[in-house]
A and B are shown apart, each in its own frame.
Chain A
Amino acid sequence: DAKTTQPPSMDCAEGRAANLPCNHSTISGNEYVYWYRQIHSQGPQYIIHGLKNNETNEMASLIITEDRKSSTLILPHATLRDTAVYYCIVRVNGTASKLTFGTGTRLQVTL
């Protein structure tokens, strides 16, 4: 699985959009970009994933660059409950392919 690079920490004011970047310059053509988050003392929570098109669901939007070497997770209106560690993972979908977690980005949402 390709490696990812994320900033170690970010701050965001409540109500503002949180934009979390991720670099995955060695991504392969059949690898998807997945985002998970882990709120303190809980298991990671799936947020969203995509291959090459931008994706949106009830939690977030995922913007993938045309060359697929980087992506951005957008939380449109961050709340205090979005404070968590966010992990960007690239993975071949299907098959027995594990999730390789990096160190993630610790997002702190403040009042």
Chain B
Amino acid sequence: KAGVTQTPRYLIKTRGQQVTLSCSPISGHRSVSWYQQTPGQGLQFLFEYFSETQRNKGNFPGRFSGRQFSNSRSEMNVSTLELGDSALYLCASTSSLGQGNHYGYTFGSGTRLTVV
């Protein structure tokens, strides 16, 4: 089956602009998480959605937001972009949040965002 699909793969934006990234989870997966990866901070958790509800949130400013649709696809939005937002943004999906989740998260290849 198809893996986690993230679009676009690469993006260049200017400071002050906003950006929307998209993630399509594996078919049947209802949980989608987002991570930011930078050389300085490594992989950091942004937020997790399950059944269209945000279930967990990392320590990022309110400029970072997300949502999940009824088909489990998710988008994240970053407003008022700063140079420091340049990063690889990764999306991961898993089948559930409950005790049946024993197979870990499947990650997409990410969207590389460059802010200039």
Contacts and interface: CB of A to CB of B under 8 A. Distances in A.
A96 B109 contact: no
B32 to A, nearest CB: 12
A95 B43 CA distance: 20
A94 interface: yes
A36 B42 CA distance: 14
A41 B108 CA distance: 11
Contact of A43 (B42, B56, B96, B107): B107
Please classify how large the interface on chain A is, using the bins under 10, 10 to 19, 20 to 34, 35 or more. Answer: 20 to 34
Interface string B85-98: 00000101000111
Contact of B45 (A93, A94, A95, A100): A100
B10 to A, nearest CB: 11
A93 B99 contact: yes
A46 B99 contact: no
Contacts of B108: 43
A99 B104 CA distance: 10
B101 A46 contact: no
6 cross-chain pairs, A with B, having the tightest CB-CB distances, nearest first: A43-B107, A46-B104, A96-B55, A101-B43, A96-B56, A98-B45
Interface of B: 4, 33, 35, 42-45, 48, 50, 55-56, 58, 90, 92, 96-110
Interface of A: 34, 36, 41-46, 49, 87, 93-103
Given A94-B96, A98-B45, A99-B105, 15 more contacts: A42-B107, A43-B107, A43-B108, A44-B105, A44-B107, A46-B105, A49-B104, A94-B101, A95-B98, A96-B48, A96-B55, A96-B97, A99-B33, A99-B43, A99-B45
